[in-house]
């Protein structure tokens, strides 16, 4: 996949979109709202929030909600990801399932920012979060 340059300002805008998405979270059990925003290669931004269920296994994370919405709208290539967990005491990165889904649609160098607020962001990449991704050859 070709690298898409994403500016620092764009990453901050993306994080703000994730913060806004976290306000729509349905998290009556954990009381832990999470929002995500995904910038795709054509410049569109898709957001998502976590949606809990009393049967915890049926809960969906914000990152997957955003990614699945992007795919449903025809996007197949992500350029950046932002995740906001405003009620956390520390930056919370994506879970393993979300890392697997995100790497399906983004290269190792896709920037990922996550945090509790704009002043406390952690910056990483998909490759750093999931360093030994495999099985991409199945799609060839």
Known catalytic residues are 63
* Beta bridge mates, 120: 117
Q: Which two tokens stand for residue 138?
A: 């199945």
Q: Decide: 107 and 130 in contact? Cβ < 8 Å.
A: no
Q: Decide: 84 and 116 in contact? Cβ < 8 Å.
A: yes
78-84 and 111-117 beta bridge pairing: parallel
**How many angstroms separate the CA atoms of 75 and 78, rounded?**
8
**How many angstroms separate the CA atoms of 43 and 79, rounded?**
8
């Amino acid at each position: 996949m070709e690298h898409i340059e994403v500016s620092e300002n764009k990453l901050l805008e993306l994080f703000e979109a994730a913060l806004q998405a976290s306000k729509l979270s349905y998290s009556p059990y954990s009381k832990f709202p999470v929002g995500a925003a995904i910038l795709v290669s054509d410049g569109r931004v898709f957001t998502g929030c976590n949606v809990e269920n009393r049967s915890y296994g049926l809960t969906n994370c914000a990152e997957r909600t955003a990614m699945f919405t992007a795919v449903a709208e025809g996007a197949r290539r992500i350029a950046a990801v932002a995740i906001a967990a405003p009620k956390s005491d520390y930056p919370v990165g994506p879970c393993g399932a979300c890392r697997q889904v995100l790497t399906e649609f983004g290269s190792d160098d896709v920037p990922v920012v996550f945090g509790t607020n704009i002043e406390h962001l952690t910056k990483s990449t998909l490759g750093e979060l999931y360093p030994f991704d495999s099985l991409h050859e199945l799609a060839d």
